Chain A
């Protein structure tokens, strides 16, 4: 993974000093709330319901064992002994003290980490596929360009105060796992017919209050021009994006208002002025950064391992875990392991300080000392030998990190919700926990199969509810908490936005509602159909009918 050189280190150190002084001035009354707000937000600090919330950047979801241990220590010393992985691959602390945040940032800087631009109206952490570099279906590993873009976007002088937040996702696989279509800019890397790395550029996607999938603004962009092109897009947005209404300020609204053709015309016109200027990435710089993302020193292993095969055959619990939590790897004899942060009845994405240390040790022993976080809020050991899987499972299991539910109904994507977040209309974690308990039967879960259930506590959609096969959205009706249900959303290349099935439900009704949606699926499914396939084939009607019929007779 990328390692800081003196330039990188100096920037995070100077940032700590700058932020320390800003916070000092705020606490001394020299800065108003309004003036301090964008400063703290651009350092990931929210003022929340109970305490500030600090969002620490995990650039494109890549983290070392050393960094994770530091996070374990920080959460122990400055928080309540746990952290929360977010849907943008970052780590959030729920209980830090504002006065401590400069010290936390100073601690982070010692392990090449920061909280820069994890919030605020600026370019946010760039996200990608958690299997980047190892996925069998990967065409281009986008991480080197993602790192170049991280540096370019860090304290970008022109884009420090955009109309609204700006999210970029990159992906270089056949099967999209980074939901590039749901980002302000989505960059889909591919090899063009000359065999060169090229990028298909999507713009104007986003969830939130107005969910819209992105539109292709450029089919073919040479990688050398990715910074200049993004700069042209964001410059047009910075000038013309609405600043009078926060709900209409995202780039998607501008793209819709102008129409993609007109927006594209403006971008291309702007781009033409500086396309071949200093922003053109040199081969030299790409090579410098790419060398940090070269393949690990893999052993030459056979494609099969007898001890592994025997363990799968003799141990059903291990076999169930392998089926759900072990993902393919491009190198023979290796697999990726997803450590589930979704044990039933616990807040999805949460991890304790002790677990962070366990995971760091696992990474050191079995996966070259590196980890990834996923937007599904789990942690991944990307490079585990087949022969080590059984030991990894035992250790992960002992630490409560081996729930075999990856991709199943209880692998719920969930925002912090009303328990923590001051934006939320409703709680989300207790709903996730109640649903997990309703389906706390692994055989039944496996029988239901692939199903993505996403929960957001408000229309800002941090829990990506629009693209959940089942989506749950917390809404406020006359001061009480209700939940609106959508079905048919999907991430991936064939992404779709879910449809609302009808009037919303109370918290108590939610496990039963999900149960009834599953009943329709189990009744109607054909052959190997997944839940989403059945929804797409039949439409919303039968699901709606069953859910509300039961409700009336209940």
Chain B
């Protein structure tokens, strides 16, 4: 069963087969858990390196098919990936600690990418919503925008309103169950990426 939920242009959500292969770097040599003020560091800070040089070098990239590649891998191994771009076989993964500007620096026309995925390591990392908003509004990205990682049904409604139109539900949870949450609220107050505030949407007089 696929874990991928996709919104059609008419807003209809359905579970679809995932035609993309996600390129995942090998695990880091040793798990580094840093402590700060007695607390385990939970999130990478903005701009912090996502993968080590060793991980990047050892990442296996499938030779054919549509591949979804972390931005840092693309940056380091552009030469061998370049040819996949014109054929529509390259999608990029942006982590929540990376910036939309860094992506823009690589792809002057973001719409040359058929797919951008934003990876959220922990569902409580709300940067994913601002990144979604920025990619859609500021950077004018029109193709598929996918939430991946710790993506759970109770955040889905927010993801949708922040501009995402596909959602890869975490592997141990049911995508079927998650579908319902996309309709949790029928008339939200504020605007979203594709929506205006309720007082511009309907007459409340």
Q: Pick 6 A–B contacts, CB within 8 A, sort by A.
A: A10-B186, A35-B152, A158-B126, A158-B129, A244-B43, A278-B196
Contact with A along B29-51 (1 / 0, CB 8 A): 00000001101011111100000
- Take A5-B204, A242-B45 as given contacts and tell me if A155 and B189 are in contact as well, using a CB distance cutoff of 8 Å: yes
Complex contact B162–A239 (CB within 8 A): no
- Beyond contacts A159-B129, A245-B39: 12 other A-B pairs, Cβ-Cβ < 8 A, are A22-B154, A35-B123, A152-B197, A155-B188, A157-B158, A158-B133, A163-B126, A239-B46, A239-B127, A244-B42, A244-B45, A278-B200
Q: A246 within 8 Å of B by Cβ?
A: yes
Q: What is the minimal beta-carbon distance from B43 to any residue of chain A, in angstroms?
A: 4
Contact with A along B68-93 (1 / 0, CB 8 A): 00000000000000000000000000
CA distance A278 to B186 in the complex (A): 20
CA distance A426 to B163 in the complex (A): 45
Query: Which of B36, B124, B127, B186 makes the CB contact (< 8 A) with A238?
Result: B127
Complex contact B187–A10 (CB within 8 A): yes
CA distance A244 to B42 in the complex (A): 5
B residues 170-205 in Cβ contact with A at 8 Å: 181, 184-192, 196-200, 202, 204-205
Q: A121 within 8 Å of B by Cβ?
A: yes
- Take A5-B204, A159-B126, A279-B197 as given contacts and tell me if A151 and B45 are in contact as well, using a CB distance cutoff of 8 Å: no
Contact with B along A145-161 (1 / 0, CB 8 A): 00000011111111111
Complex contact A14–B186 (CB within 8 A): yes
Complex contact A160–B125 (CB within 8 A): no
CA distance A29 to B168 in the complex (A): 22
Q: A243 within 8 Å of B by Cβ?
A: yes
Contact with B along A325-359 (1 / 0, CB 8 A): 00000000000000000000000000000000000
Closest to A15 in B: B185
Q: B111 within 8 Å of A by Cβ?
A: no
Query: Which of A10, A39, A288 makes the CB contact (< 8 A) with B154?
Result: A39
A residues 276-292 in Cβ contact with B at 8 Å: 278-279, 282, 284-285, 288
Q: A162 within 8 Å of B by Cβ?
A: yes
Complex contact B162–A157 (CB within 8 A): yes
CA distance A39 to B133 in the complex (A): 22
Complex contact A14–B129 (CB within 8 A): no
Complex contact B41–A288 (CB within 8 A): no
Inter-chain CB contacts under 8 Å: number:
126
Contact with A along B155-172 (1 / 0, CB 8 A): 101111110000000000
Q: A298 within 8 Å of B by Cβ?
A: no
Q: A523 within 8 Å of B by Cβ?
A: no
CA distance A160 to B157 in the complex (A): 11
B191 surroundings in chain A (CB, below 8 A) = 278-279
Q: B59 within 8 Å of A by Cβ?
A: no
Complex contact B129–A157 (CB within 8 A): yes
Complex contact A247–B37 (CB within 8 A): yes
- Take A7-B204, A151-B189, A157-B157 as given contacts and tell me if A285 and B45 are in contact as well, using a CB distance cutoff of 8 Å: no
Contact with B along A4-15 (1 / 0, CB 8 A): 010100110011
A residues 110-165 in Cβ contact with B at 8 Å: 121, 151-163
Q: A240 within 8 Å of B by Cβ?
A: yes
Between B42, B45, B130, B186, the greatest number of chain A beta carbons within 10 A of the residue's beta carbon is seen for B130
Q: What is the minimal beta-carbon distance from B106 to any residue of chain A, in angstroms?
A: 19
Between B161, B189, B192, B204, the greatest number of chain A beta carbons within 10 A of the residue's beta carbon is seen for B189
A10 surroundings in chain B (CB, below 8 A) = 186-187
A274 surroundings in chain B (CB, below 8 A) = 137
Between B154, B162, B186, the greatest number of chain A beta carbons within 10 A of the residue's beta carbon is seen for B154
Complex contact B161–A157 (CB within 8 A): yes
Query: Which of A14, A227, A273, A285 makes the CB contact (< 8 A) with B184?
Result: A14
CA distance A426 to B46 in the complex (A): 36
CA distance A93 to B130 in the complex (A): 34
Complex contact B189–A152 (CB within 8 A): yes
B46 surroundings in chain A (CB, below 8 A) = 239-240
Q: A18 within 8 Å of B by Cβ?
A: yes
B154 surroundings in chain A (CB, below 8 A) = 22, 31, 35, 39
CA distance A35 to B155 in the complex (A): 10
Between A158, A278, A282, the greatest number of chain B beta carbons within 10 A of the residue's beta carbon is seen for A158
Closest to A35 in B: B152
CA distance A172 to B191 in the complex (A): 27
A247 surroundings in chain B (CB, below 8 A) = 37, 39
Q: What is the minimal beta-carbon distance from A245 to any residue of chain B, in angstroms?
A: 5
Q: A76 within 8 Å of B by Cβ?
A: no
Complex contact B39–A151 (CB within 8 A): no
Query: Which of B42, B129, B202 makes the CB contact (< 8 A) with A160?
Result: B129
Complex contact B185–A11 (CB within 8 A): yes
